[in-house]
A and B are shown apart, each in its own frame.
Chain A
Amino acid sequence: MNTMRAYSALAKREIWEHKSLWIVPAVIGCLGILFALYGFGALLLAAHQGMININGDITGVNSIEGVRAFIFGSAAFFNTVMLFMVWFYLMDTLHADRKDRSVLFWKSLPLSDTTTVLSKLFTGMVTAPALMLAAVIVTEIITGILFIIALSLIGVNILPLVFQPGTIILAWITLAFALMVQSLWLIPFFGWFLLCSAWARKLVLAWTVLIPLGAMLVERLFIGTHYLFNAVFGHLGKLFTLVMSGHYSVNGVTIGPGIGFGEKPDVFAGHSGLMTLGSLARVFAQPEMWIGAVIGAVFVAGAIWLRRNRSEI
């Protein structure tokens, strides 16, 4: 068997089954373009009615940070939707074929359960972000061009400012790296969804949410602590502060890159704080990244075991 061919067939299989993996980013992209058109229409109308006073002097604008803010900002909405989509995908993926008994067909092929489960994890961690990134790039090119045209129609030529291929391409590469870091950081969550998907007979969504919430409640009521709550939500929150470049200080004391959950930064030191390749690389130095990876691996191993031994509902 040609192994690469089998792996690529497994990756394609997931997209055949879960069309939302490409339809959702495509729909968000179309909506983004529609909103942009609406916004530019409103802008042109306002300019026509003399409601906008054009100064014309746009020198001194930090165009590099502006371009990066546009690229990362519009990707943020795609990303939020994608994370929910991946959650639902991972919950469904080991459950749906047990429910319709097609698991018996998949199991009649010479694929190990490990390969099957890992192909689903790969889809959540790599395929879904890659499809999303493609939609982001296409949407940004189209809305960017619309933006430039709309502004030029009211007499502002931003093309020389924003046409910075180097900055734009580096920003997209940074975005791709950010998505990879995000997937690695979220492995414990992805692993948990796969475990629930392989285990639950029905109501997978309820299990993915209720078991952690129940455990948090039990800890709070009987032990009086809230370590689990902090671990789960702190882990989710920490990534977004970690990847920001620049340093934070709390109560006047600089605490280095990133802040923990519940800590409030009172001063943003440094520049805009938008993520860079360097600020993203810092995430790998965090012990939580590796602790999370180990927990995630345990969950995935559990999902593989269940797939192997309890495949029928």
Chain B
Amino acid sequence: MNMLIQARGLSKHYGGLRALDKVDFDIEEGRIVGLIGPNGAGKTTALKAILGLTNFEGELDVLGHDPRISRRQLMQDVCFIADVATLPRWLKVANAIEFVEAVHPRFSRERARHFLERTKISQKSKVGQLSKGMVTQLHLALIMAIDAKLLVLDEPTIGLDILYRKEFYSNLLNDYFDEKRTILITTHQVEEVEKLLTHLMFISNGKIVLDDSMEVVAEKFAEVLVAQDKIAAAQALNPINEREIFGKKLFLFEGIERAKLAALGEIHTPSIADLFVAKMQGAVQ
């Protein structure tokens, strides 16, 4: 396995606010990592540091480069979509393709054309004439036509309707991702990326509070629907979260043996959203 990103003691503060507080993490090749956190938790700061868009303290190695120093070389192997609709309104679709082809050694015009043929986007249109969803399709087509090692997506589908969002992720998974590529995503719409991810990272108040593969997450965390008579027993096992559903209680456990939990009730794998809420509440307490 190739290590793509290594962060050691990564820190960044804006005035007194610590956006990243001595964070360590590794991202290996072939992973799809979801970086999930509440607003202001440090997600975007972490991505910006990886992309060389901000200064930071500590050590950060991305594909063998220090992003602060060799940004240009780094961008040959790293692509990113930061937010939706960052393509300029005056740019014509054909010109966008012409420009990226001229400046990016790994861009394939044929691939871009192939992806665009599946959309309603005309080469003659200007970005300003396209809908928000189409602009995202165009941006994704441009990015997917680049043979990059790392793709970073920062809220790539925010504000899009559900059809475009579903299509965005299915394109990404079916036409782009393979074992040689790595994708790092931040999003608020966790439900949509849930089935996509191979790894999960939670960030809260500038610290990483969870960093595991999805298999480990599924083993480590369990949700159990407990009937009234066994609530006391469940609470004795230190659940990380509990809530009421249809007169029963739903408990979320971390690191408890399945055999013990089976005695309490039906076991489910928690959704990322529920896990996220539990973890964030835990972090606050």
User: Which residues from chain B sit less than 8 Å from chain A, CB to CB?
Assistant: 51, 53, 55, 71-76, 79-83, 86-92, 95, 98-100, 102-105, 139, 143
Contacts and interface: CB of A to CB of B under 8 A. Distances in A.
Given A16-B92, A17-B88, A102-B87, A108 B99 contact: no
A112 B90 contact: no
Most chain B CB atoms below 10 A, which of A12, A107, A109, A112: A109
A309 B95 contact: no
Interface string A17-45: 10000000000000000000000000000
B88 A109 contact: no
11 contacts: A6-B102, A10-B103, A16-B92, A105-B87, A105-B139, A107-B51, A107-B53, A108-B75, A108-B81, A110-B73, A111-B72
A96 to B, nearest CB: 8
B99 A100 contact: no
Contacts of B92: 16
Interface string A93-105: 0000100111111
A311 interface: yes
Closest 4 CB pairs of A and B: A9-B102, A102-B88, A110-B75, A104-B82
A220 interface: no
Contacts of B88: 17, 97, 100, 102, 105
B90 A16 contact: yes
Contacts of A115: 72
Contacts of B95: 12-13, 16
B82 A109 contact: no
Contact of B55 (A16, A108, A112, A309): A309
Contacts of B104: 1, 109-110
A142 B221 CA distance: 81
B79 A111 contact: no
Please classify how large the interface on chain A is, using the bins under 10, 10 to 19, 20 to 34, 35 or more. Answer: 20 to 34
Majority secondary structure of chain A interface residues (helix, strand, loop or mixed):
helix
A105 B90 contact: no
Given A1-B104, A1-B105, A6-B103, A17 B90 contact: yes
A110 B72 contact: yes
Nearest to A2: B102
B102 A5 contact: yes
A8 interface: yes
Contacts of B139: 105
B82 A108 contact: yes
Contacts of B83: 101, 104
Contact of B99 (A9, A104, A311): A9
B68 to A, nearest CB: 9
Contacts of A9: 98-99, 102-103
A109 B100 contact: yes
Contacts of A308: 71
B98 A109 contact: no
A115 to B, nearest CB: 8
Contacts of A100: 88-89
Nearest to B82: A104
Contacts of A104: 53, 80, 82-83, 86
Contact of B86 (A1, A8, A13, A105): A105
Contacts of A113: 71
Interface string A300-313: 00000000110110
Contacts of A16: 90-92, 95
Given A105-B139, A112-B72, A1 B103 contact: yes
